[in-house]
Amino acid sequence: MKIALVQINPVIGDFGYNSAQIISWSEKAREKGCDLVVFPELALCGYPPQDLLERPAFLMEHDKALQNIISRISGIGIICGHLEKHAGAVGKPLHNSASLIENGRILFTAQKRLLPSYDVFDEARYFEPGRRSQPCRYNGLRLGLTVCEDIWNDKGSFPQQLYATDPVNDLLSGLDAQGRKIDLLVNISASPFQIDKETVKHDIFTRVCRNNTLPLIYVNQVGGQDSLLFDGWSMAMDSGGNIVARAARFKEDMVIVDTDIWQERPYGQQITEVHTRESGPADNTAILQETRTVFDALVMGVKDYGAKCGFSKGLVGLSGGIDSAVTFAIGCEAFGPENILGVAMPSPYSSAASVEDAKQLAENLDCRFEVVVISSVFSAIKESLSHVLTVDEQQAVPKVDITEQNIQARIRGNLLMAYSNKEGSLLLSTGNKSEMAVGYCTLYGDMSGGLAVISDVPKLLVYKLADYINRVREIIPARIITKPPSAELSPEQLDQDDLPPYEVLDSILQAYLEQNLSVAEIAAMGFERHTVEDIVKRIRFNEYKRKQAPLGLKVTSKAFGYGRRYPIAQNFREEDAS
């Protein structure tokens, strides 16, 4: 039969919109002669619904929407992720389920058995695991229906399995009502994007297909949902583990596969990847490919967060530095150049070149730009606090301590929030992951905003993003990329007066934050131990700042957000451990 893989971008709790999407795409698939259409995990309510699952009214509206879909779908079968009440007297009240629906009836339901409770996932908080995996039959094919994590427990892919249960293995060893094994494995997912995850996913799926001589259909949610970015990239694999059909990345899409010949059937313009700008001549390199993927993910995240939260305009404070430049370019791509404003706010320590570069950036992107000088406000605050401030104007190079530096940052934060209030714009904060990790940022200053676009992007990757943005023509002025990074909050200030080189800092941060290596293990990699100890100390000390930071978009395996849960008040000193 012909099966349509449809990845949609649901809005959590918007049951009318999500239902309409499911029905509309089903009708398109039927018009193309498809027998079955497959949608993502929890497509009806959106993923992850979190504590909305505890609200009776939410569950009531969900059930109404499900009944509407059941009654409206005809002439085609659909597999759709939805909530299901747990019938048992003991356990959590809900199942995360997937049902096969046709002509007003639910023909079969599979309940998710493996409920992840690591990183950003907390499904055991809400759901009761399914108890068994059974195949079902549809149009002559025996299907093994699984939900997301159910396929992520292959013993050949991980050094240690997280679960004693293996739903895929159970399906492969089980029989349907006619005593036959499955012909096709179907997995519906809401699997968030992160750098390098696709390699792991591909290896797991390939192993499952080849080891069992079994084709696979995988349909993933797409779109930004708070900090999570879902890339879609749904696929069909043949029994040899070869990808025979693949949907677009970072946009809604449908692809059709014919199970008779196990090849893709044309549907409109098939896209294997989505590029928000024209490709340049060097786009064939692996580094540029990864950078482009991160760029597209961040653009989608900003666009969807804005749209789903009611923002059609964006706002960025432009310092003349690379972080704000990259954030501004991403925001311009997400909102459109006519819907984003860049504001430069020079202080007495800002260079004229920084303002010039910020203005040139805005002109290159054809975006609005304004300058608000903060020197007079800064002087007024210093005058009010003259009895406590320590600025020594008699020095050849005046000393400006952290208090005066933070005052400047907080003035800018106040001004930007005023613009945000007046214009109804989403303020995009510009701090990168390297700065956030060690606290090189100011609470209520440069941390002000509604969305932290690059807070999970290490500094070195920020430079790669700038090069990618400039791959066809110079958008970010070259001087922004080549000059030494500086907050320009005191005379002759440079980031590396206080921090190690970013090549060193980013490597240590990745080892500590993403690989969970100890101080001793990181030092053994060739880094000076006192440098590693200092960085780890800063990470621990600045937890309180990160807990008050705006929501950030997740692109690495461990972001600063609800997937990283460390206490603020704690006294475990990793640097003292041997």
Find the Cα–Cα–Cα–Cα dihedral 519, 522, 503, 408, rounded to 10°: -10
Which one, of 168, 113, 108, 188, lies nearest residue 141 by Cα?
Answer: 108
**What pLDDT is attached to residue 526?**
96
134-149 pLDDT, tens digit each = 999 999 899 999 999 9
Reported pTM: 0.93
Return residue ranges of the chain for CATH 3.40.50.620: 286-495+544-568
Q: Could you tell me the strand order of the sheet in which 184-189 lies?
A: 136-138, 141-147, 184-189, 216-220, 235-237, 243-246
427 in helix, strand or coil?
Answer: strand
Give the mean pLDDT of 358-362. Answer: 97
**What pLDDT is attached to residue 277?**
37
Tokens linked to 270: 């098939």
Q: Are 372 and 343 in contact (CB under 8 A)?
A: yes
Tokens linked to 366: 């054809």
Tokens linked to 335: 């909102």
Give the mean pLDDT of 287-311. Answer: 95
Higher pLDDT, 54 or 400: 54
**What pLDDT is attached to residue 486?**
79
Q: Name the pLDDT band for 392 (thresholds 50, 70, 90).
A: low
pLDDT at 391 over 60: no
Give the mean pLDDT of 331-355. Answer: 95
**What pLDDT is attached to residue 175?**
59
Q: Are 563 and 201 in contact (CB under 8 A)?
A: no
pLDDT at 572 over 60: yes
Higher pLDDT, 577 or 565: 565
> What is the rounded distance in angstroms from the CA atom of residue 384 to the CA atom of residue 34?
73
**What pLDDT is attached to residue 102?**
95
CA distances from 355 to 7, 291, 361, 364 (A): 43, 27, 10, 14
Q: Residue 545: count other Cβ atoms within 10 Å of its Cβ.
A: 18
**What pLDDT is attached to residue 272?**
40
Catalytic option among 148, 209, 332, 441: 148
**What pLDDT is attached to residue 394?**
52
Buried b (16+ CB within 10 A) or exposed e, 191-209: bbbbbeebeebeebbbebb
Give the mean pLDDT of 441-453. Answer: 95
Which residue has tokens 């240590």? 508
363 in helix, strand or coil?
Answer: helix
**What pLDDT is attached to residue 498?**
82
Buried b (16+ CB within 10 A) or exposed e, 452-470: bbbbbbbbbbbbbbbebbb
Task: Pick 2-265's CATH classification: 3.20.20.70, 3.90.1150.10, 3.40.50.300, 3.60.110.10.
Answer: 3.60.110.10
**What pLDDT is attached to residue 409?**
94
14-57 pLDDT, tens digit each = 999 999 999 999 999 999 999 999 999 999 999 999 999 999 99
Return the axis-axis angle of helices 352-365 and 322-335, rounded to nearest 10°.
20
68-105 pLDDT, tens digit each = 999 999 999 999 999 999 998 899 999 999 999 999 99
**What pLDDT is attached to residue 491?**
76
> What is the rounded distance in angstroms from the CA atom of residue 471 to the CA atom of residue 103?
51
Q: What is the DSSP string of 129-155?
A: PP-----EEETTEEEEEEEGGGGS--T
Q: Quick one: what percent of the chain has pLDDT higher than 90? A: 80
**What pLDDT is attached to residue 279?**
41
165-198 pLDDT, tens digit each = 999 999 988 655 566 689 999 999 999 999 989 9
- E-state strands within 44-91: 77-85
Q: Are 502 and 376 in contact (CB under 8 A)?
A: no
pLDDT at 157 over 70: yes
121 in helix, strand or coil?
Answer: coil
Q: Quick one: what percent of the chain has pLDDT higher than 70? A: 93
Which positions ≥6 away from 17 have C-beta within 8 Å?
Answer: 10, 11
237 in helix, strand or coil?
Answer: strand
Angle at 224 between CA 547 and CA 86, to 5 degrees: 85
**What pLDDT is attached to residue 2?**
95
Return residue ranges of the chain for CATH 3.60.110.10: 2-265
> What is the rounded distance in angstroms from the CA atom of residue 282 to the CA atom of residue 284?
5
Tokens linked to 570: 């704690």
514-535 pLDDT, tens digit each = 999 999 999 999 999 999 999 9
Q: What is the pairing mode between strands 2-7 and 36-38? A: parallel
CA distances from 368 to 317, 361, 424 (A): 12, 10, 15
Burial class (CB in 10 A: 0-12, 13-18, 19+), 434: buried
223-278 pLDDT, tens digit each = 999 999 999 999 999 999 999 999 999 999 999 999 988 877 776 544 443 333 34
Give the mean pLDDT of 528-555. Answer: 95
Q: Are 509 and 540 in contact (CB under 8 A)?
A: no
The yes-or-no answer on residue 41 being catalytic is: yes
Q: What is the pairing mode between strands 235-237 and 263-265? A: unpaired
470-473: list long-range contacts, CB under 8 Å, 24+ apart. 471/280, 471/282, 471/283, 471/288, 472/277, 472/278, 472/280
The yes-or-no answer on residue 112 being catalytic is: yes
Q: What is the pairing mode between strands 263-265 and 253-258? A: antiparallel
**Average pLDDT score over the chain:** 91
Catalytic option among 2, 34, 45, 112: 112
> What is the rounded distance in angstroms from the CA atom of residue 49 to the CA atom of residue 41?
12
Q: What share of the chain is helix, strand, coil (3-state, %, to 5)?
A: 40, 20, 45
End-to-end CA gap in the chain: 61
Q: Are 184 and 143 in contact (CB under 8 A)?
A: yes
Q: What is the pairing mode between strands 340-344 and 2-7? A: unpaired
Give the mean pLDDT of 196-222. Answer: 94
pLDDT at 494 over 90: no
Give the mean pLDDT of 372-391. Answer: 88
- Give the architecture (CATH level 2) of 286-495+544-568: 3-Layer(aba) Sandwich (3.40)
Angle at 163 between CA 157 and CA 169, to 5 degrees: 65
SS3 readout for 376-418: HHHHHHHHHCCCCCCCECCCCCCECCHHHHHHHHHHHHHHHHH
Strand-pairing partners, residue 316, are 342
